Amino acid sequence: MSEPDNPKTAQHLKAACKERYARQILLPQIGSKGQQALGKSSVLIAGAGGLGSISSLYLAAAGVGHIIIADHDHVEESNLNRQLLHSETSLGIEKVKSAANRLQELNSSIKITPVQKKLNAKNIDLLVKKIDIIVDACDNYKTRQILNRASIRHDIPFIFGGVQGFNGMVSCFIPGRTPCFECIVKPPKNKIDKGIIGAVAGITASIQTMETIKLLLNIGSRADRLENRLLKISGLDMKIKSISLEPDPDCRVCKHINCK
């Protein structure tokens, strides 16, 4: 959070922040120290669609100091069943512009950096240089590969989230501590059906956000977090499974890192 020049304004802002975050500061796991830590944190949200809509709103509301949100698409009508950052007035405009407007409306005391780019192996390094966590909010395997490899190169946690139909999946991939995304998820053989119920993106992204905040503040043990676990959510029969993960000994991406 940037410090204003006028000390009176600074005091006023401090009081306003205290009021805004009062309900989470009350939590012993967060408190004033945790709130300050959130204010100093930076997160990259890769995608301003169904998952990115919810994770960015909750992270902005929680007071994460700097949110970089990247997406190259424009808002279309078929997005509006799940991409709650956007509205009818945003149709046709860049998703990141629509996102930045909405997030800044929600919380003007944090910094939002919209990045109107398709992420690739070249531009990702600059984006993740000074961030603490990568939040996966994309919709394709190739971009996840790029994020996974950047996470390993820069030693940054990667919060994976995937949705399809009524189903969602979440895991925390942490270099040196867990398998990586490519140990666990292999490239799809068939074309993926794009049908989705909006609420499953909401559930999945909310769990990703919980894990992001827990990691940023080091809340709970590794077992409490989704480290070495894949959470599978089935919205149709409302069953949630936690599956233990092992690194793939043949994974070429993280094999130089000792998973423990």
Contacting residue, 69, 156, 183, 215, with Zn ion by CB under 5 A: 183
Task: Please tell me the count of residues contacting Zn ion according to CB under 5 A.
Answer: 6
Which residue's Cβ has the minimum distance to Zn ion? 251
Contacting residue, 137, 163, 169, 254, with Zn ion by CB under 5 A: 254
Decide if residue 257 touches Zn ion (CB under 5 A).
no
Which range binds Zn ion by CB under 5 A, 15-23, 59-67, 128-136, 176-184?
176-184
Strand partners, 67: 43, 112
- Sequence-distant contacts of 98-106: CB under 8 A, at least 24 apart: 98/48, 99/48, 99/52, 99/53, 99/56, 99/69, 99/71, 100/69, 102/57, 103/56, 103/57, 103/60, 103/67, 103/69, 106/57, 106/60, 106/61
CB contact set of 61 (below 8 Å; sequence gap of 6+)? 106, 107
> Nearer Cβ to Zn ion, position 68 or 230?
230
Decide if residue 253 touches Zn ion (CB under 5 A).
yes
Give the shortest CB-182-to-Zn ion separation in angstroms. Answer: 5
DSSP category for residue 196: B
Decide if residue 43 touches Zn ion (CB under 5 A).
no
CB contact set of 12 (below 8 Å; sequence gap of 6+)? none
Token pair of 243 as six digits:
């599956």
Give the shortest CB-251-to-Zn ion separation in angstroms. Answer: 3
Decide if residue 91 touches Zn ion (CB under 5 A).
no
**Alpha helices, DSSP H only, in 74-140?**
95-106, 124-128
Decide if residue 251 touches Zn ion (CB under 5 A).
yes
Between 134 and 173, how does the x/- string for binding to Zn ion read (CB under 5 A)?
A: ----------------------------------------
Contacting residue, 38, 180, 201, 230, with Zn ion by CB under 5 A: 180
Which range binds Zn ion by CB under 5 A, 17-25, 55-63, 174-182, 227-235?
174-182
User: CA–CA separation, 43 vs 68, rounded Å?
Assistant: 6
Give the shortest CB-218-to-Zn ion separation in angstroms. Answer: 24
Question: For residues 205-238, b (16+ Cβ closer than 10 Å) or e, as one string?
Answer: bbbbbbbbbbbbbebeeeeebbbbbbbbbebeee
Which range binds Zn ion by CB under 5 A, 41-49, 61-69, 182-190, 231-239?
182-190
Binding site for Zn ion (CB under 5 A): 180, 182-183, 251, 253-254
